[in-house]
Structure 1
Amino acid sequence: MAIEKVFRVGVDVGGTNTDCVILNPSESDTPNRGILSAVKTPTTANVTEGIVKAIEGAISQCSGLSRESISAVMIGTTSFINAVVQADERSLRPVGVLRICGPYAKENPAFLDFPPVLARIMNGRVAYLDGGLEFDTREIMELDEQQVRDECQALREKGITDVAVCGIFSPLDLEGLHEARVKRIVLEELPDADVVLSRDVGQLGFLERENATILNTSILKFARKTIRGFKEAMDWLGLSCPLFLTQNDGTIIDADAAETTPIKTFNSGPTNSMSGAAYLAGLDTASGNLPKAQVIVADVGGTTCDVCALLPSGFPRQAGTWVEIGGVRCAFPMPEVQSVALGGGTRVEERDGQVHIGPESTGHRLLQEGLVFGGSTLTTTDVVVASGKAEIGDVSKVGHVPSHVIEQARLKIKHLLEAAIDSMKLSADDCICVMVGGGSIVQMDELRGVGQTIRPQFHDCANAVGAAIARVSGQIDIVKVLEGLEEDKVIAEVCDEARRRAIDAGADVDKVKITEIENLPLQYVSTRASRLVVKAAGPLARKALLKGGASLPSEVNTKEFAELISSKQEQSNAEKNPLDFIVSPSAHVEVADYRPEVDENGVWWVSEIDCEFLAMGASILACGGGGPGYLCYMAGRDAIRRGKRMSVIDIDALPDDAWIMGNISYGAPTVTLERTPSGTEGIDATDAMLTMFPGVEMSAQIALEIGGMNAIRPLITGIHYGVPTVDGDFMGRAYPRLYLKTPFLYDWMAMPATQADGNGNVVTVNKATSIRKVEKIHRKAGHELGLFSQLVIPPMDVATAKKVACLGTTSLAWYIGRAVYQARQEKRSITDAIVAANPSGKVLYTGKIVHVHRYVSSGGYTEGSVRLAPISSEEQEYGDSVSGESRHLHLPFQNEYLLAELIDPETPNSRLSATGGSEKKQAPEGEVLCTVPDLISLVGSDGYALGTQDVRYGVRVSAVAFVANPHWYTPKGVATGGPKEFGYDMDFRPLGPAYYEPKSVMKEFGPVG
């Protein structure tokens, strides 16, 4: 009689231990939730050895268990990510990158933002191919098959057989128009090649998806060898069931599929712990006991505490648009995890009358170094034992520790846990906290903001449990034009496709459910269009468990395998310089000592470090808008690396009759991140404009907006024309509309106005009834141009620019950026440094975000509001000043923050959410501190400014404001850029300090005399 296959084996390979559980999912309603055994063994140098020992140990605990009754083995491993993080040349291979991009993406080459050591190992060859798609799946260009074959010949000559293919908007390519065709051609030319398609790896975000694809391709052969070892282990153990690996998003992938996309399994450990914790606590969807409160999981190990929020689906909340792997920005599903230096082995020290917790830890040496184990180091475990909260080791060995040290340490542990949990919450309501992990004993007291704390049975093996119960998923990330369509019907069709993908991956067709739907309308779009991200998931189908094992075709020699798993990994074949892992150029210098290059003529020659400072400062001056500045920053760095020179001059260095021009990014940020610039958009638009002014010879560029991505754009354009950039701009901040520029306050008209898409298409509005009409026409034209272009307004003579421009703002952005990096390097207050760099500024408020309301208006602008609550005394960090302010801060926004209003803490969020949605907004009822046109920015504790698209509950921020340029303080300036322009029937409320005339980099750092 056939033995029924009912049991699952879950394995999680951690840095210290390898955990294994055997579970019967059909007995999930029992007190032990179907868990038959749980084993923890030390992780070995060869991970396969540890896996074999753990599974053998778990099976031996189950008396009479037949190996034939095991239906599946699920393994979570960090082997692959470790190879990348350590830049292990034995495991990584050079990659040939084929970009299907047409004219685009050339401004940001592949490998540009890789740490130097990884770029040297992985950069085999980069090719740019005709093709690519627009956001609505129109072809940018037709694919050129001969071009692909020619590139294959080049790869053959270099001996490269690992190929990454990345096409613009390829996640939308459901028909396989480009990436799949390129793969077929490559395999015809290079039959032994490993070809990875970016659409199989990541989501929208071209550079980040390409980076993930490169990492995946480089690690592919090592991953295949490792997974082969897992299969050999199963053969040696006598297991004939399927083998699965757990993925970063909390689902599983069969071993054969994991061999093609190992990057999807890079960081599955935290996810396994989170989903396992919910299952053990009986809070998962399978139990039917879904909690009404938000669920936060805290996984405490020996060194760190990883905190994550669980969605009602049982999956962890996903991170934002990108994550970082080994210093490389990547785009693929990963859980949003907050890690703090708190574990069972964290060191406790008393210095200068204060008790300090970590960040140093004894880690896996806790049993040798902790006091209760006979060591000499006071750890958090010792504090727990001394507090009478656990019976571990010898309590007499902590009897000499002063009681005040134990009390202070216990209080600080409580505060660390509270802050970490609060950072993951989506609202201020009390949450349920599930504590798991071997170090979870450090949670000794009730936690503020936590209504219920659960430490379930088998909590120290939650990661292996999560692996055993993991589901199968399917996800689709697509942009849909909704104009003329029923939105609900479109969403339903996308959901059906997500379900189909889950079923194809092995999910039970009768139990697949939609677990996530994100509907993200595109900004600045005249026709309705949305990015839809839909995920479906379900348990493994029975047929997937009956399809046969993952064993190898040939038999495995027991002696050979024993030798294989007992072998130790070799040490890396080269010592690596730690600076080789750092991407930031300013990290290589003492910021306080750095001096920009200004020559004897007063010309500032911009360096990579200057680019970094400019990008940081411009993000703060963007006031929550300004578009993604990272692309322009990296493009500027690439130009410098290629030997190009970017320069800035004072406007007084030009004669009054000289002509200056500028260009500004125009379109939807979502498109910008995918169809990255060609670098010719601004040049095409500028050339077209110059044909209409035959007597004009451009002498310099100028930023049309100093906020965000547009601050560095004129420097890059100036390279092509061999002209410098004037220190200044036409806004002094960021604003969402074309006509919100200072020249128009003086009746200077933006006609003609020209935009170009970088693919040879140029549109000019030669004449219109008003500047507002120019804006509307260009928005319509921008749709046909693919929702991203560069726009140019007419040339301006220097004499006029001196009257109407905001001068000195390029220097101002640099000084603010430098102040942030210097404060970070010197561990000083970042907000104080920002205000010192611009004395017309004030820190309005320091608090945490407790409410966010966001929507897209009919005009295509992101509107909403942010609410901040004060930092409590328990949450204050070293250096914080106590303001005594008990009120909350309310910040409405329309792409940029519009006003700052102190409100009563009892004011309901529903009233604040009602401030938008109509042309006339609800008037503020609290104390208004300032409004537009003054600048308001939210700055995180690390110095990065948060765009309105980035704000979320729990983030600690400071609201910083600056006095606007005097042009905005004129009656017309207030009428044009003040609160009434954005629908608020109220007068302008100025910030207060006098305007600060920015210092000049050229004057401060130029030659003396």
Structure 2
Amino acid sequence: MTRSLRIGVDVGGTNTDGVILDPSRSSEPDRGIVAWHKASTTGNPSDGINNAITAMFDESKIDPGEVASVTIGTTHFINAVIEQDQARLAKVAIMRLCGPFSKGVPPCIDWPAKLRNLIRGYYCLVDGGLEVDGNLISDINEEQIRREAEIIKRKGIKSIVINGVFSPVDIHYKQEERAAKVIKSIYPEADIVLSKQVANLGFLERENAAILNASILPFARKTITSFQSAISKLNLKCPVFITQNDGTLLLATAAAALPIRTFSSGPTNSMRGAAFLTQNSIKESMMVVDIGGTTTDVGLLLANGFPRQAAAFSEISGVRTNFSYPDVRSVGLGGGSIVRRDSDGKLRLGPESVGYLLPEKAICFGGDVATATDYTVLGDEKVNIGSRELVVEAGLEGNLKDLKDLVKRMLERAIDNMKTSAEDIPVLLVGGGAIIAPDELAGASKVVKPEWSGVANAIGAATARVSGIIDTIENTETKTSSQVMEDVSKRAVEKAIEDGAKADTVQVVEMDHLPLQYIANKSRFIVKAVGDFDFSRQIAGVEEATTGTTEQDGMAEFAKGSSTTDHTLKEVIDAPEIDISSYRPKIVGREWIISETDLAWISTGCYILGTGGGGSPYGHMLRLREIMRSGGVVKVISPDDLKDEDLVACGGGKGSPTVSIEKLPGDEMIQSQTELYNFMKVQPNAVIALEIGGGNGLQGMILGASTNMNLPTVDGDWMGRAYPVAWQTTPVVFQETPVFLPSTICDGNGSVMFMTQAKSELMVEKAFRAALSQMGSHVACAKAPVTGKNTKSWVVEHTISLSWRIGRAVALARSENRIDSVAESIIAEAGGDESAKVLFKGKIVGVERTLRMGHVYGEVIVEAMDVSGGERAEFQGKMKIPFKNENILAIKENPDSSETVVASVPDLICVIDAQNGEAIGTPEYRYGLLVLVLGIVASEKWTSTPRGLEIGGPKGFGMDDVEYKALGKFRKPRSVIEEFAT
């Protein structure tokens, strides 16, 4: 008998949808849909699957022998994490192959306390890890690994994660694989998860994903076994697949080992189903609007038939991960959304919803709650749901027009936020709630409501394909980028075939090339290939995937794993919520003692003051918080309180952001300081940040709290922002001879370099930059101290205070649900309307980047739009912002096509996410983001002299034709110490 039919089942929290599909008839009017079914999800998912497939068999009268595959989409695994269910989450041990790195940022450091205490059972740091160029940090030490495996075994923790620095590009040494083999020899019953098999570059985020994956492994085996039991009871002798969140599928055996890849596959299934339903009518990118009972999910389906992916990092229940997610925005609009009029007479729709109780609560079904479905029944006689008479009797007709207008505006707004250009785009409506949407929408070239759209998620599951993804760093010295891309593409195709794809159906659907900053002839290449599953290669029955584990065995094994307790790790409780408006920082005498609340606000402010550069402070914030939780005290003092003879130390990080997200800091920063001061035979009295903008803005506090003397950090820095090179500092403005000599850099792995003499700070910078690639492309730098007297003359004052104020303003705006006024709050803290202003509001519609001399140059284009949900934009036209790591200019495009420079360095040009008030760095610029562009007047330390403008102004970036014009009048930030000292 020919096996040609495919079954897709999507097990959601509310409904279980099913479809039987004949792919050979997909071009016919019925799209080859043999049968479909929708029913409420059951407590036991296997019962729901069984019921759905049985109902479709009864309807279609097909022979089970005709079925080639069953593909299931499920939310069960992600729900286990979201619900923090101890019965479904096992304790995990984590082994890092990292050598001297990452010790300041232990595993799960940024997790919600309850989830961390529930999952993290033990961790250890051992030798191993690679540099970005593939050379060894150190090889693994098998004896170390054996000792740690014995400890883990004694603790009874069966789920183990191995995470090596740059392991995703480790194709020669295979450190994670070798470590796993050693552990298995000691502890054969353990489940071992290799981080490189879970996610790609991004050490902490990949580790997080691997830990979540390891924790749900026992529950995943049990669940997938129950799925297969349901299939077995139906006498189906075919492979069982589980859908991944990138629109492709995994054999059940693979999904049982990598359940995290199924997280949030529901929206992707709906979008892939939409692509299938419109395959003959739409050949371009389109917006898919999936309207459910409570929310509407909006995502962009690319012309290749796969969803546009979200930014590099995704968050699951408060945990940052870095595996592929569809870029989907949710709006509180659905068929069950509640309709009401406020006391001010304004009609409101959602976000409250009756959800799955719609058949009981809605007026059209005899209930007493007015919902969006009731108004749809009232306004469209073709809608055959419930009773129109009941709705008429309830007197809802007076609200009908207002409701229709409101639904239309909400959908148009959601679609516009996801578009990447001003051009109209096809819009496809799917989901059970699609009946509430109008037939025409602004911004849509056409609105399509296909038949069977209510089970688009099951159709997406049935039509999912096999993928092969290669994410690697390659040498471009002997080959062109296009030649390397061709080689990587071949590897992706081979990977897809190896994973089960039929060779003649595989095609490359995504490719990306990212040059690495400060690293010569190295680039990151990401390629994804997909193809249809090759059923001729393998017809697997249920027994293949269960690997001998019965449903009861899975339960017993899991109960044992979840009871494991580790007494060597103290439980941590999340800090309680605070009243932001009444919060007062702790000032003791003239010292500001930094709290975790202060640190969070300062971090937010530092990134905003980074003007697009400086790197995210996130990792540095985690490290400093860990120092504080371990008893370290972080003290900040006013520059006014320095003595003339004091020595003020300074340090920071140099290198490629790609390296810094993978090779987390060890002791190199404090080592560079120690080496320098041992050489100079002096000791500093305080520390200052090189730049307040970005990650280095926290480095002074990290250094101060890490020394035995517990040095205070000066409330100020040498830039007042972030600049791309270390010689663009205020001391260089005021003193032409080298200021920071001697200087030292350390790679943290045994290499130290001194610069004791040079003609200029520029020459010091050039020499250190040249050494970067030989020292792992990321180093810590210590600069010779500056006297207290000179510090008071040269410092950009009170910038830690300014960061704190900006961060507090953002936090307060969030807590009071007034993000649309966050720009004005930041302006108030930055000196008011005379010292700062909103330069533009809109959506990013274009980004270009290139790498020159180690720096990323580029330009971002923002198109005017009302970012707060209204209908009229405050600004018109477009704004261009050129950048060199940091934003350089803000250029307004005029109606006559001429251009006006409205702001330039050294004034600060800050791009902020309009949705949450957080800074957006230049590496994070991407199409579709809604942004605010703020301008803040630079310190007079930059603007009061020709030399300051030559170094820090447009001329410092090679823009001799641009003349600096101040945005307004600089106002020195108010000191937190002065305000709150008693």
Q: Give the structure-2-normalised TM-score.
A: 0.94
2:539 to 517, 533, 546: 546
**1:514 alignment partner, one of 496, 508, 511:** 508
1:218–1:705 CA distance, 2 compared to 1 (3 A):
same
Match of 1:33 in 2: 31
Do the aligned partners of residues 651 and 642 (structure 1) sit closer, same or farther apart at CA in structure 2, a change above 3 Å counting? same
Residue 473, structure 1, aligned to residue 467, structure 2: yes
Q: Is the 8 A contact 2:863 2:877 kept in 1?
A: yes
2:909 corresponds to: 936
Q: Secondary structure at the match of 2:178?
A: helix
User: For each residue in 1:635-691, what CA deviation from the matched residue of structure 2 results, as whole angstroms up to 9, or x when unmatched?
Assistant: 11111111111111112222110101111111011110011111x121121122223
Superposition CA RMSD, Å:
2.3
Q: Distance in 2 between matches of 1:989 and 1:406?
A: 56
The reply to whether residue 927 of structure 1 matches residue 900 of structure 2 is: yes
1:281 paired residue among 278, 281, 303? 278
Corresponding position of 2:229: 232
* Larger displacement relative to structure 2 (538-547 or 237-246): 538-547
Partner of 2:327: 336
Q: Secondary structure at the match of 1:698?
A: coil
Residue 366 in structure 1 maps to residue 358 in structure 2: yes
Give the Cα separation in 2 of the matches to 1:804 and 1:113.
36
The residue correspondences of 1:287-306 to structure 2 (distance < 5 A) are 291-292=283-284, 294-306=285-297
AA aligned to 2:529 is A
User: Structure 1 residues 495, 634: closer, same or farther in 2, change over 3 A?
Assistant: same
**1:544 CA drift (Å):** 4.1
Task: Indicate conservation of the 8 Å contact 1:523/1:856, yes or no.
Answer: no
2:811 aligned residue (821, 831, 836): 821
Pair 1:312 & 2:303 matched: yes
Contact 2:905 2:953 in 1 (8 A): yes
1:922 alignment partner in structure 2: none
Contact 2:849-2:859 within 8 A present in 1 as well: no
Distance 2:937 2:231 in 1: 67
Q: 1:617 to 1:855 in 2, by over 3 A?
A: same
Q: Are 2:875 and 1:889 equivalent residues in the alignment? A: no
Match of 2:140 in 1: 143
The CA deviation at 1:191 is 0.7
Instruction: Report the AA paired with residue 696 of structure 2.
Output: N
Specify which of 865, 868, 874 is matched with residue 871 of structure 1: 865
Give deviations 1:60-114, integer Å, cap 9, x for gaps: 1112x11011010000001011010000000101100001111111111101111
Identity %: 39
1:469-522: CA deviations, max 9, x gaps?
000001111112322333222222211221111111100112111111110111
How far off is 1:449 after superposition? 1.2
Does the 8 A contact of 1:901 with 1:926 survive in 2?
A: yes
Deviations 1:830-869 (A, max 9, x none): 1111111112543324532242232223222222222223
Deviations, residues 880-913 of structure 1 (Å, cap 9, x unaligned): 9x77532322222221111222213575xxxxxx
Match for residue 321 of structure 1 among 309, 312, 320: 312
SS of match in other structure, 2:922: coil
Kept after mapping to 1: 8 A contact 2:954/2:962: yes
Give the TM-score, by structure 1 length: 0.92
Deviations 1:214-271 (A, max 9, x none): 0000100010011111111111111110001000111000011111110001211111
**Corresponding residue pairs, total:** 957
In the other structure, the counterpart of 1:391 is 384
Tell me the CA shift for residue 549 of structure 1. 4.6
CA distance in 2, matches of 1:877, 1:486: 46
Q: 1:99 aligns with which of 96, 101, 110?
A: 96
Q: Which moved more, 1:257-266 or 1:388-397?
A: 388-397
Distance 2:776 2:732 in 1: 28
Q: 2:21 aligns with which of 20, 23, 26?
A: 23
Mapped contact 2:292–2:434 kept (Cα < 8 A): yes
1:663 matched to 2:651: yes
Alignment partners' CA distance in 2, 1:335 and 1:877: 23
1:218 aligns with 215
Question: How far does residue 596 in structure 1 lie from its aligned partner after superposition?
Answer: 1.4
2:484 maps to 1:490: yes
Q: Is the 8 A contact 1:703 1:729 kept in 2?
A: yes
Question: Which residue in the other structure is 2:44 paired with?
Answer: 46
2:855 maps to which residue?
861
Change (3 A) 1:259 1:402: closer
Q: How far, CA to CA, are the matches of 1:149 and 1:10 in structure 2?
A: 45
Q: Secondary structure at the match of 2:924?
A: coil
Name the amino acid aligned to 1:394.
Answer: S
User: Does residue 1:765 correspond to 2:755, yes or no?
Assistant: yes
Q: Provide, for residues 271-316 of structure 1, a one-character-per-residue CA deviation record: whole Å limited to 9, x for no partner.
A: 100011110112xxxx5x6624x21111111011111111222111
- Change in 2 beyond 3 A, CA 1:928/1:610: same
Larger deviation: 121-130 or 646-655? 646-655
The question of 1:591 aligning with 2:564 is answered no
Whether the aligned pair in 1 keeps the contact of 2:715 and 2:800 (CA below 8 Å) is yes
Partner residue, 1:452: 446
3-state secondary structure, aligned to 1:893: strand
Q: Secondary structure at the match of 1:711?
A: helix
Shift of 1:552: 7.2
Deviations 1:911-931 (A, max 9, x none): xxxxxxxxxxxxxx4232211
Taking the aligned partners of 1:552 and 1:876, their CA distance within structure 2 comes to: 50
Gap regions ≥5 residues in structure 2: 564-570
In structure 2, C-alpha distance between the alignment counterparts of 1:182 and 1:435, rounded to whole Å = 49
Counterpart residue identity of residue 962, structure 1: I
Cα displacement (A) at 1:402:
5.2
The 1:545–1:423 alpha-carbon spacing in structure 2 relative to 1, beyond 3 Å, is: farther
| Correspondence for 2:719 | 731
Aligned position for 1:684: 671
Q: Which residue of 2 aligns with 1:958?
A: 932
- Superposition deviation, residue 979 in structure 1: 1.4
CA offsets per residue over residues 549-570 of structure 1, 9 Å max, x none?
556789999xx99xx99xxx9x
Q: Distance in 1 between matches of 2:743 and 2:401?
A: 68
**How many Å separate the matches in 1 of 2:573 and 2:38?**
38
Residues of 1 paired with 2:296 and 2:780: CA distance? 46
**Inter-partner Cα distance in structure 2 for 1:251 and 1:609:** 42
2:232 touches 2:542 (CA, 8 Å); kept in 1? Answer: no
What is the match of residue 848 of structure 1? 842
Say if 2:164 is the partner of 1:167: yes
CA distance in 2, matches of 1:685, 1:101: 20
- Please give the alpha-carbon distance, in whole angstroms, between the structure 2 residues aligned to 1:309 and 1:104: 39
Query: For the residues of structure 1 that align with 2:605 and 2:935, how far apart are their CA atoms?
Result: 13
Cα distance in 2 for partners of 1:199, 1:906 equals 53
SS in 1 for 2:490: helix
Amino acid at match of 2:910: S
Specify the SS of the correspondent of 2:852: coil
Contact 2:473-2:522 at 8 Å conserved across structures = yes
Match of 2:568 in 1: none
* Correspondence list, 1:906-925, <5 A: 907=897, 925=898
442-451 or 321-330, which moves further after superposition? Answer: 442-451
Rate the CA distance shift 1:887–1:495 in 2: closer, same or farther, 3 A.
closer
Determine the C-alpha separation between the residues in 2 that align with 1:290 and 1:869: 27
Letter in 1 for 2:670: I
- Is this contact kept in 1: 2:935–2:967, CA < 8 A? no
> Does the Cα contact within 8 Å between 1:854 and 1:862 map onto a contact in 2?
no
| Correspondence 1:830 to 2:822 | yes
Contact 2:841 2:874 in 1 (8 A): no
SS of aligned partner of 2:726: coil
